[in-house]
């Protein structure tokens, strides 16, 4: 298996003295992230090129060590060895370090273990084609130099130096430079998209969270966002909606009171001026916006009155076949390019879940057609999912649940597809059943409104709604209109065709508990 490259004996230090923590995180991501392990296998074959591409222990060690040291350079400030022990590795690192673009990438990665893994994999892909020629040039250099010198220094220039750059090294530097610009943009964009579901005021996980993520759920979500145009659009939309709602909240409710200290947040009027410096940089601009959207910017802490909290958030998402359409009102909207109504609903759902995670509220997403298709629940860093078809007895859905990571849960709710009929009655029954477990819930139904709620149902739902202290919000996508009885139940209705960003911002802020 490809993951064996990251298992086994302790690796050799060739150019950088990476820490045990960095090596451990790289090994964990190499085992969990198939994209990184596959890239490392190609690296191994490049080092084994003089053995007819037959895999060898030496090639495996070379690939593992180079991967770990590139990862370490991005994840931390690894110290360079006084004397490198491998000149081919030293040449590759020199090609990397000689570019300003690598410094920018390291700044944007900002010690994030998963984006360090993502960037390492991308850089490896631009390196392995040059390795066979670098090895041949080094062999020729050693032959020209003769057999003199200490055997421990074999492969090195005078006093541990690797000699002047060769033609291949210069070519590698040019290729790396081109790759670095692209990878830096992808990392900044990925962080901005992940800010939509950031629950800790930032996009970088803590050390404990990084170590616990043995399945590599977060790095695999990053890879999937990079590879899937559909999911990338959904996450990008969710990030923009979160940012827009924060801006609306700051404008509508300016902070009052005395400044007490500095905190992290996304309230634009209170953010320190220094936090906006990155807006002038073409790459760092996106990262700066991501930090503001995720509430990770430094801002003044104000003395405020304590607000009354809300209960859980429950999102009912229409996944019927009619949601597969692309409405003409959205075709010229930049943020919605090539997105159908279902993808837009996925983006709004992801933004709502991200907002709830940040506020430490339980969030339940219920996908429905003519029956309940799936339930995904986020609660205090944990996530559960249920993909079992359900048509009744929603209070006792105890079977068929599986434990998920938050990242897998986000991938699930952000990747739904449209198919089947529509039954609002079953969706509302399920929503109120979950609301009955925790009082003062906010229920949001997202639909093209191609179904109805009848008067006798509306009266019963109103009684339950009043008894539980539940608020009900409606988001219409695709030009539809909720029926009269449904409108009477709603505390707020937003027509996305008429007020897209503004409408989504209203719902996000109305259901916010902070």
Q: Which two tokens stand for residue 364?
A: 């339940």
| pLDDT exceeds 60 at position 3 | no
Considering just the CA atoms, what is the radius of gyration of the chain in Å?
Answer: 27
CA pair distance 272, 270, nearest whole angstrom: 6
SS3 253: coil
| pLDDT exceeds 70 at position 158 | no
| pLDDT exceeds 80 at position 265 | no
277: enclosing H helix or E strand? none
In angstroms, what CA-CA distances link 5 with 115, 217, 272, 307? 20, 20, 46, 53
CA pair distance 233, 28, nearest whole angstrom: 29
Give 77's contacts (C-beta < 8 A, 6+ positions apart).
Answer: none
Q: What is the pLDDT of residues 210-262, one digit of tens each?
A: 777 767 778 888 888 888 888 888 888 887 777 767 666 655 554 455 667 78
pTM over 0.85: no
Say which range, 17-21, 204-208, 260-264, has the weakest mean pLDDT: 204-208
pLDDT category at 370 given cuts 50, 70, 90 is very high
Centre a 10 Å sphere on the Cβ of residue 89 and count the other Cβ atoms it contains.
Answer: 23
User: What's the average model confidence in pLDDT over 347-366?
Assistant: 89
Residue 6: what pLDDT?
57
Residue 249: what pLDDT?
60
| pLDDT exceeds 90 at position 176 | yes
User: What's the average model confidence in pLDDT over 131-138?
Assistant: 89
Give me the residues paired with residue 375 across strands: 366, 386
Would you say the C-alpha torsion 29, 31, 35, 38 has a positive or negative sign? positive
pLDDT category at 146 given cuts 50, 70, 90 is low
Say which range, 100-109, 448-457, 478-487, 497-506, has the weakest mean pLDDT: 497-506
Share of the chain above pLDDT 90, in %: 27
pLDDT category at 139 given cuts 50, 70, 90 is confident
CA pair distance 369, 420, nearest whole angstrom: 6
Q: What is the pLDDT of residues 270-324, one digit of tens each?
A: 888 888 787 777 767 767 776 776 677 788 777 655 445 578 999 999 999 999 8
User: What's the average model confidence in pLDDT over 27-34?
Assistant: 85
Centre a 10 Å sphere on the Cβ of residue 179 and count the other Cβ atoms it contains.
Answer: 19
Q: What is the DSSP string of 349-390?
A: HHHHHHHHHHTT--EEEEEESSSEEEEEEEETTEEEEE---B
Residue 318: what pLDDT?
94
pLDDT category at 359 given cuts 50, 70, 90 is confident
φ, ψ at 226 (rounded to 5°):
-70, -35
Residue 75: what pLDDT?
93
pLDDT category at 201 given cuts 50, 70, 90 is very low
User: What's the average model confidence in pLDDT over 145-158?
Assistant: 47
Residue 405: what pLDDT?
82
For the chain, the first-to-last Cα distance in angstroms comes to 48
Residue 382: what pLDDT?
85
Q: Which tops the pLDDT comparison, 375 or 8?
A: 375
User: What's the average model confidence in pLDDT over 508-512?
Assistant: 78
CA pair distance 298, 306, nearest whole angstrom: 21
Say which range, 6-20, 22-36, 74-88, 355-369, has the weakest mean pLDDT: 6-20
Check residue 49 and report its DSSP letter.
G
3-state helix, strand, coil in the chain (%, to 5): 55, 10, 30
| CB 190 within 8 Å of CB 118 | yes
User: What's the average model confidence in pLDDT over 464-483?
Assistant: 89
User: What's the average model confidence in pLDDT over 175-199?
Assistant: 85
User: What's the average model confidence in pLDDT over 179-184?
Assistant: 93
CATH class of domain segment(s) 313-510: alpha beta
Residue 202: what pLDDT?
42
Q: Which two tokens stand for residue 276?
A: 């906006």
Q: Which two tokens stand for residue 323?
A: 């949601």
Q: Which of 453, 220, 196 is nearest to 316 (CA)?
A: 453
Mean pLDDT of the chain: 81
φ, ψ at 25 (rounded to 5°):
-65, -40
CA pair distance 501, 351, nearest whole angstrom: 12
Q: Which tops the pLDDT comparison, 267 or 321?
A: 321
Residue 496: what pLDDT?
83
Residue 374: what pLDDT?
92
Say which range, 157-161, 404-408, 501-505, has the weakest mean pLDDT: 157-161
Beta strand pairing call for 79-80 and 16-17: antiparallel
Residue in this structure with the two tokens 């004397």, named with its chain if needed: 83
User: What's the average model confidence in pLDDT over 32-43?
Assistant: 87
User: What's the average model confidence in pLDDT over 53-64?
Assistant: 82
Q: What is the pLDDT of residues 402-415, one digit of tens each?
A: 998 888 888 899 99
User: What's the average model confidence in pLDDT over 356-366?
Assistant: 89
Residue 143: what pLDDT?
79
Say which range, 64-68, 289-293, 320-324, 350-354, has the weakest mean pLDDT: 289-293
Residue 120: what pLDDT?
95
Residue 153: what pLDDT?
41
List the chain domain ranges: 1-145+165-192+206-220+247-305, 313-510
Give me the residues paired with residue 300 across strands: 262
pLDDT category at 264 given cuts 50, 70, 90 is confident
Q: How far, rounded to the nearest angstrom, does the alpha carbon of residue 96 sit from its chain's CA centroid? A: 26
Q: Which two tokens stand for residue 321?
A: 């076949």
């Amino acid at each position: 298996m490809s993951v064996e490259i990251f298992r086994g004996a302790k690796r050799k230090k060739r150019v950088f003295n990476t820490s045990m923590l960095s090596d451990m995180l790289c090994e964990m991501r190499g085992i969990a992230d198939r994209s990184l392990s596959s890239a490392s296998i190609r690296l191994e074959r490049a080092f084994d090129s003089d053995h007819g591409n037959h895999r060898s222990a030496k090639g495996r060690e070379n690939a593992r060590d180079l991967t770990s040291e590139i990862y370490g350079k991005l994840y931390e400030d690894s110290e360079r060895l006084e004397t490198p022990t491998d000149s081919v590795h030293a040449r590759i690192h020199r090609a990397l370090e000689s570019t300003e673009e690598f410094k920018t990438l390291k700044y944007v990665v900002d010690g994030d273990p998963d984006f360090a893994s993502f960037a390492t994999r991308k850089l490896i892909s631009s390196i392995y084609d040059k390795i066979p020629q670098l090895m041949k040039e080094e062999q020729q250099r050693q032959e020209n130099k003769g057999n003199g010198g200490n055997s421990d220094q074999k492969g090195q220039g005078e006093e541990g130096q690797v000699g002047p750059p060769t033609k291949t090294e210069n070519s590698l530097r040019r290729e790396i430079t081109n790759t670095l610009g692209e990878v830096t943009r992808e990392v900044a964009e990925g962080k901005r998209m992940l800010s939509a579901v950031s629950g800790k005021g930032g996009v970088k996980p803590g050390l404990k969270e990084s170590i616990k993520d043995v399945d590599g759920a977060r790095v695999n979500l990053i890879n999937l966002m990079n590879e899937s145009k559909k999911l990338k659009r959904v996450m990008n939309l969710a990030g923009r909606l979160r940012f827009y709602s924060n801006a609306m909240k700051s404008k509508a409710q300016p902070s009052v009171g005395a400044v007490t200290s500095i905190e992290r947040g996304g309230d634009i009027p209170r953010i320190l001026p220094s936090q906006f410096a990155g807006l002038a940089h073409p790459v760092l601009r996106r990262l700066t916006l991501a930090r503001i959207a995720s509430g990770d910017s430094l801002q003044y802490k104000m003395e405020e009155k304590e607000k009354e909290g809300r209960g859980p958030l429950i999102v009912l998402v229409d996944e019927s076949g009619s949601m597969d359409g692309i409405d003409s009102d959205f075709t010229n909207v930049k943020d919605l390019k090539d997105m159908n109504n279902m993808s837009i609903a996925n983006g709004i759902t992801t933004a709502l879940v991200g907002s709830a995670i940040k506020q430490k509220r339980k969030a339940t997403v219920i996908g429905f057609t003519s029956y309940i298709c799936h339930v995904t629940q986020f609660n205090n860093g944990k996530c559960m999912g249920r993909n079992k078809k359900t048509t009744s007895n929603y209070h006792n859905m105890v079977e068929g649940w599986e434990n998920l990571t938050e990242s897998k849960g986000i991938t699930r709710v952000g990747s739904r597809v449209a198919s089947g009929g529509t039954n609002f009655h079953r969706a509302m029954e399920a929503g109120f059943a979950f609301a009955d477990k925790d009082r003062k819930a906010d229920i949001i139904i997202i639909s093209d409104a191609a179904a109805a709620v009848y008067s006798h149902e509306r009266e019963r739902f109103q009684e339950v709604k009043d008894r539980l202290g539940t608020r009900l919000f409606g988001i219409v996508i695709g030009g539809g209109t909720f029926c009269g009885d449904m409108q009477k139940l709603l505390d707020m209705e937003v027509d996305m065709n008429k007020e897209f960003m503004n409408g989504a911002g209203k719902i996000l802020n109305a259901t916010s508990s902070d």
